[in-house]
């Protein structure tokens, strides 16, 4: 698995697929992306009362995590220290309490919209549901007489074979359709 990225930082401001500069040295983005796309990703969660260390593992095998922590006083001496050893399970990044979550149960399993409120996650990057584009965007590719859920143009635009029917079903639950 890999990642594809570009940077607006070449000899002039244009998008570039290069992660090397003019002198064939790695650009700063390369080091950030290398760390960001690593399959084991550590992060820190802080609030006023505590500091938590979160780790997500996208590898297909379990990994052993060893964390040594230290709290320093203002004079530089160690006030507290400790060690934590944990065994990380495999591919746990989509659990609601660890890593990034995607919630598509409303779209794929036809759950009510209220299900979004019940799914609690540390970080949610996708609240999965599809919709139609704005009317202005529709007018760019579809004549007004084809503004129908099941017109050939609208069916072709929707890449999920049951997508327009799902959208219509949800709309019928919430609105009166003329």
Q: What are the average pLDDT values for consecutive 10-residue runs of the chain, which has 178 residues?
A: 43 52 64 66 74 69 76 89 74 58 81 83 72 88 91 87 89 85
pLDDT at position 9:
44
Distance CA 70, CA 80 (A): 6
Closest CA to 122 of 15, 57, 65, 45: 45
Distance of CA 37 to the CA centre of its chain: 13
pLDDT at position 72:
87
Which whole-number Å values give the CA distances from 163 to 95, 134, 142, in the listed order?
26, 17, 18
Mean of pLDDT over the chain: 74
pLDDT at position 152:
92
Closest CA to 154 of 142, 162, 172, 167: 142
Distance CA 123, CA 110 (A): 23
Distance CA 118, CA 124 (A): 13
Q: How many CB atoms lie within 10 A of CB 33?
A: 16
Compute φ and ψ for 8, nearest 5 degrees.
-90, 65
Distance CA 167, CA 131 (A): 7
pLDDT at position 88:
65
Distance CA 129, CA 104 (A): 7
pLDDT at position 78:
92
Residues 6+ apart with CB under 8 A from 4: 17
pLDDT at position 12:
47
């Amino acid at each position: 698995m890999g990642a594809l990225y570009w940077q607006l930082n070449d000899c002039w401001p244009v998008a570039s697929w290069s992660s090397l500069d003019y002198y064939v040295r790695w650009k700063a983005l390369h080091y950030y992306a290398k760390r960001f796309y690593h399959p084991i990703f550590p992060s820190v969660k802080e609030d006023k009362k505590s500091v938590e260390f979160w780790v997500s593992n996208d590898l297909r095998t379990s990994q052993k995590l060893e964390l040594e922590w230290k709290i320093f006083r203002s004079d530089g001496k160690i006030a507290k220290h400790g060690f934590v050893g944990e065994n990380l399970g495999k591919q746990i990044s989509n659990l609601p309490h660890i890593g990034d979550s995607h919630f598509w149960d409303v779209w794929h399993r036809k759950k009510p919209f209220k299900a979004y409120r019940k799914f609690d996650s540390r970080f949610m990057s996708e609240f999965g549901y599809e919709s139609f584009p704005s009317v202005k965007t529709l007018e760019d590719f579809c004549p007004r007489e084809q503004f129908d859920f099941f017109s050939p143009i609208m069916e072709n635009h929707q890449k999920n074979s049951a997508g327009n029917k799902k959208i219509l079903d949800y709309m019928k639950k919430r609105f009166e359709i003329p």
